Structure 1
Amino acid sequence: MTDIEIAIALFKITGTKMFTKKIIAATLAISGLFIGTTANAQAYAGATVGQARYNVDCAGTTNCKTNDTSFSILGGYNLNANWGVEASYNDLGKIRANVSGVAAEIKATSFDLAGVYRAQLNNNWGVFTKLGLAYSKGEATVSYSGFSASVSKNATKVVAGVGATYAFTPNFAGRAEITSRRVDLIGGDANVTNFNIGVQASF
């Protein structure tokens, strides 16, 4: 039964013209709300690459490296023109240091789930911010005289980010973003900041 048929049936039952007008108005308003939400809803996927920087102290070490190449694979869904959700897998690269002949290497990955707020500045440029949770895994490997041992640690902590998009076409855009999350490492935790650029496609 269509919305109009429902309204006519209510009119016959009540016999009140004013009541029917209110029902029709409410039905059309609710229908318009759902139509608007469906029109704005859009899924997207993308990938970015850049650099991850670990906020760790290199005091007392040699050959200390606190940044590395990182990459992300992401997917999201725009619930309407401004709000959406996004999930991503992030390889945060490796950091290395030597202490008295002992070589230490730490690498981390994370899976993020965040809410996204976006604003379109014009036909091409848009900005966004996101806030959510990052499930991360930090793995440390220590090597000395040909022997090595590894240990890992998992944690769930807050992730936050800001970024911008540039639409080349209605369904294809460039993307740049900065995200920050804390990762549990052996002996403590560290803040890891990502500076990434890439592309995303809507469908």
Structure 2
Amino acid sequence: MKKLMALAMAAAFAAPAFAGDFYAGADIGRGKIDGGNEVIGGTSVTMSDWKDTTYSIFGGYQLNETLSFELGYRSMGKNTVSVASKSVEVKGSAIQASMLASLPVGNDFSVFGRLGVSSFKAKASYNGNSDSSSESKALVGFGVRYAVSKEANIRAEFQKLASDASALTVGVDFKF
């Protein structure tokens, strides 16, 4: 998966040789991690229906009207879980690399699909100690984009970061 992320990053930074535009943006919404077990520092932690505010910052390169490459960081928020009668705070985040395929649906609207990789990290803190675990998973998503101007877009999107993690967000991106 690290090779796939490196390839996506190389493609994003090599893209200036082609016609297109760079953009950056942010989004905010609701993140969810379905109940499941994470092994953090050798301890199995039950993630019971985690729902919290999620946000991301991202940057990308639009190669043409239909294809973009994007890198981003997503915070999934934090949750307090009980492990062996102890309260443990768990934070979730992800580094994402993906390709977006867009289809115009009028002058200012488009729909898009996302395919990439997400390096998801869970960090647990308890009694002054902290442990973490990470794994790379396929990243898929779909959304809609509205062009407010030539430089600014509003977007709404659903992302599946891992088999048990998802995000529903609204955001903006700006071309430069």
Give the TM-score of the pair, scaled to structure 1: 0.68
Report what 2:130 is aligned to.
Answer: 150
Distance 2:133 2:85 in 1: 24
Report what 1:199 is aligned to.
Answer: 172
Report what 2:9 is aligned to.
Answer: none
Partners of 1:129 and 1:161 within 8 A in 2:
yes
Identical columns (%)? 28
One-letter amino acid of the structure 2 residue matched with residue 53 of structure 1 = K
Whose strand proportion is higher, 1 or 2? 2
Name the CA shift for 1:163/1:95 in 2 (closer, same or farther; >3 Å): same
Report what 1:52 is aligned to.
Answer: 31
Partners of 1:65 and 1:97 within 8 A in 2:
no
Distance 1:50 1:155 in 2: 23
The number of aligned residues is 150
One-letter amino acid of the structure 1 residue matched with residue 21 of structure 2 = Q
Q: Larger relative contact order (C-alpha < 8 A, sep ≥ 6)?
A: 2
Report what 1:174 is aligned to.
Answer: 154
Give the TM-score of the pair, scaled to structure 2: 0.77
Aligned-residue offset at 1:105: 2.1
Query: Structure 1 regions of 5+ residues with no counterpart?
Result: 1-36, 59-63, 183-189
Distance 1:75 1:97 in 2: 33
Q: Which has the larger radius of gyration?
A: 1
User: Residues 148-196 of structure 1: CA distance to partner in whole angstroms, max 9, x if unpaired?
Assistant: 43210122221111111111111111111111122xxxxxxx6110111
Moved runs in structure 1, 4+ residues, more than 4 A? Answer: none
Partners of 1:65 and 1:96 within 8 A in 2:
no
Report what 2:15 is aligned to.
Answer: none
One-letter amino acid of the structure 2 residue matched with residue 199 of structure 1 = V
Partners of 2:56 and 2:74 within 8 A in 1:
yes
Whose helix proportion is higher, 1 or 2? 1
Report what 1:66 is aligned to.
Answer: 50
